[in-house]
Structure 1
Amino acid sequence: MKAYVFPGQGAQYPGMGKDLFESSSEAKALFEKANEILGFAITDIMFDGSADDLKQTKVTQPAIFLHSVLLAKTLKEFSPDMVAGHSLGEFSALVASGALTFEDGLTLVFKRALAMQKACEVEPSTMAAIVGLEDNVVEEVCSSIDEVVVAANYNCPGQLVISGSVEGVDKACQLLAEKGAKRALKLPVGGAFHSPFMEPAREELAAAIESTKFSAPVCPVYQNVTAEAVSDPEEIKQNLVAQLTAPVKWTQTVRNMIAGGATSFTEIGPGKVLQGLVKKVDRSMETSGIDRFGE
């Protein structure tokens, strides 16, 4: 069974999607429609902007979404048995599997990006990558700190991202280093994603998701919040709202997809991060990536 996975924020790179625009009339038309929906020429930033230009959340999230979704749309054969996306990538997975239209998916991604950006500005907060410790050790240390700091991304065994107040994350990094973490490294992000700090963004996005039509996907979507296969549109919506303040259970998602019969994983979109994470969950799993038109 073929599993397709879609990357999240951080996978962007200058020049992304340019070959798609130049090689596919379908992709070109959708890129131009995206510029209209967003109200600015995201294609100019994607194709000719710098890494710093692409780092702005309001650009990064729609750029990665566009790259992933348009690659999936221009594949000669795209018949997924199951899909999943990491954080932002869940929106790409939902469009690719037919649960959301391209237009609605892009509109929600842009609203999500703006809401997250706004939430980041309310109070300073941050994230850190913790490598080399069991999940339960990280969870225990986070819960022992008298600050908001939580597990945010369960990326693969021995690699977890924490999220919270600047002071809380600093304290956690110090304690986790003492517990033997190989690395406790703060990330260059604008705020504490997938934590209670995103509550204002969750409330804002909930209204937008509630008023958007979702359809039954062509295959099960393994969602971040539960790591389980979901096909019911109402359940998909609820999980999508909860995702902003809940952890991304990627390790559990990959394990459940394998238990559900996945024999290969194909990453669609920029970068190779998810292929690496799948291999760390199960070294024997066949992985590949589609990052450019015609691959």
Structure 2
Amino acid sequence: MTFAFTFPGQGSQAVGMGRSLHDAYPAARAVFEAVDEALGEALSRLIFEGPEETLRLTANAQPALMAVSLAAMKALEAEGVTIDRASLVAGHSLGEYSALAAAGALSVDSAARLLRLRGEAMQAAVPAGEGAMAALLGLDLETAEDVAAEASEATGGETCDVANDNAPGQCVVSGTAAAVARAVEIAKEKGARRPMLLPVSAPFHSALMAPAAEAMAEALASVAMTAPAVPLLANVSVTLLTDPAAIKESLVAQVTGRVRWRESVAAFAGHGITHTVEIGAGKVLTGLAKRIDPGLKGVTVNTAEDVAAFAHSFAQQGA
């Protein structure tokens, strides 16, 4: 079994996530306590009890998802499955911070504070209602790029970028509200199965996020980072990174850059990966991996029961 640990991004959050990890593993509980202390508030209470609409806010969802992922990783470590048994780590957008914290490149308190800042900066970059995102289901990347370019041209040069290339036929565009609305109409004309606006609060991973990228560049410059225990497969470049300076540059670039998840998972085979292990809330990345490379085997680890099951399988196979 040669595997990659993958870490989910925004949209995977749910009230109650991570509770069984907190209750079953002291090491996982310590993660939630450290995040609460770093942020100066009881984020763990919000994670476990809600309300959902408050958890869903970008500035809360980002550190919350990292906390759950890192709690799951610490629980695995308590069962003898250490991060260095993976060949690489990869995270979807904010999941890169989770991956880096799990791989020891960032402390949990640094990751929590960075993600709180990232969420606030991304929300503040564009006034509410002026930006939007839309999923263009059924279109390949090249067609989605054409749609974005046509939408921008039709609105007098307003921003419309392909923000996410998640899986075959699953691209997301992001930009001004007018340009994205036009992209939805153009996508219908080009045969998109279900082009739809997404319920998000800002146009993530578009050029409109430039102010947030500047804020993250300043914040990351002052944060201590060491080389991760295993390489990070970066979202924006689909290359393996271990140098802290290069990782920081990549984290800044991904605020405005495209999440190249389809390409990232497709690259796993070239690195000898046979299994993906999704660490944290939900099962989104496991589902995407099956669509991208049906030959990959995938498991999710987001509850105490999942931790025990994976640790048992790991030991049985002598991985």
Whether TM exceeds 0.5 here: the answer is yes
- The Cα of 1:228 is off from its aligned counterpart by 1.2
Q: How does 1:77-88 map to 2 (within 5 A)?
A: 77-78=81-82, 79-88=85-94
Q: How does 1:9-48 map to 2 (within 5 A)?
A: 9-48=10-49
- The Cα of 1:91 is off from its aligned counterpart by 0.4
Paired with 2:71 and 2:58, the residues of 1 have a C-alpha distance of 20
- The Cα of 1:29 is off from its aligned counterpart by 2.5
- The Cα of 1:122 is off from its aligned counterpart by 6.7
Aligned position for 1:131: 137
Paired with 1:261 and 1:24, the residues of 2 have a C-alpha distance of 32
Q: Is the 8 A contact 2:63 2:111 kept in 1?
A: no
- Counterpart amino acid of residue 266 in structure 1: V
Q: Does residue 107 of structure 2 align to residue 107 of structure 1?
A: no
Which is further off, 111-120 or 193-202? 111-120
Q: Secondary structure at the match of 2:227?
A: coil
Q: Does residue 294 of structure 2 align to residue 283 of structure 1?
A: yes
Aligned position for 1:155: 166
Aligned pair partner of 2:211 in 200, 206, 209: 200
Q: Does residue 251 of structure 2 align to residue 229 of structure 1?
A: no
Aligned position for 1:210: 221
- The Cα of 1:53 is off from its aligned counterpart by 2.0
Paired with 2:144 and 2:29, the residues of 1 have a C-alpha distance of 45
- Counterpart amino acid of residue 138 in structure 1: A
Residues 182-210 of structure 1: per-residue CA shift (max 9 Å, x gap): 01110000010000111111101111101
1:123–1:14 distance in 2 versus 1, CA, 3 Å: closer
Superposed CA RMSD: 1.2
Q: Is the 8 A contact 1:124 1:166 kept in 2?
A: yes
1:152–1:160 distance in 2 versus 1, CA, 3 Å: same
Equivalent pairs counted in the alignment come to: 295
Paired with 1:57 and 1:134, the residues of 2 have a C-alpha distance of 28
Aligned position for 1:172: 183
Aligned position for 2:279: 268
Residues 208-235 of structure 1: per-residue CA shift (max 9 Å, x gap): 1011121111111101110111111111
Paired with 2:140 and 2:33, the residues of 1 have a C-alpha distance of 46
Paired with 1:272 and 1:103, the residues of 2 have a C-alpha distance of 26
Paired with 1:123 and 1:159, the residues of 2 have a C-alpha distance of 24
- Counterpart amino acid of residue 126 in structure 1: A
Q: Secondary structure at the match of 1:248?
A: coil
- The Cα of 1:50 is off from its aligned counterpart by 2.4
Which is further off, 259-268 or 96-105? 96-105
Aligned position for 1:254: 265
- The Cα of 1:33 is off from its aligned counterpart by 2.1
Q: Does residue 142 of structure 2 align to residue 141 of structure 1?
A: no
Q: Secondary structure at the match of 1:155?
A: strand
Q: Secondary structure at the match of 1:120?
A: coil
- Counterpart amino acid of residue 57 in structure 2: Q
Residues 11-57 of structure 1: per-residue CA shift (max 9 Å, x gap): 01111121122212222223122112112111111111122121111
Q: Which runs of 5+ in 1 are unaligned?
A: none
Identity %: 40
- Counterpart amino acid of residue 277 in structure 1: L
Q: Secondary structure at the match of 2:127?
A: helix
- The Cα of 1:140 is off from its aligned counterpart by 1.4
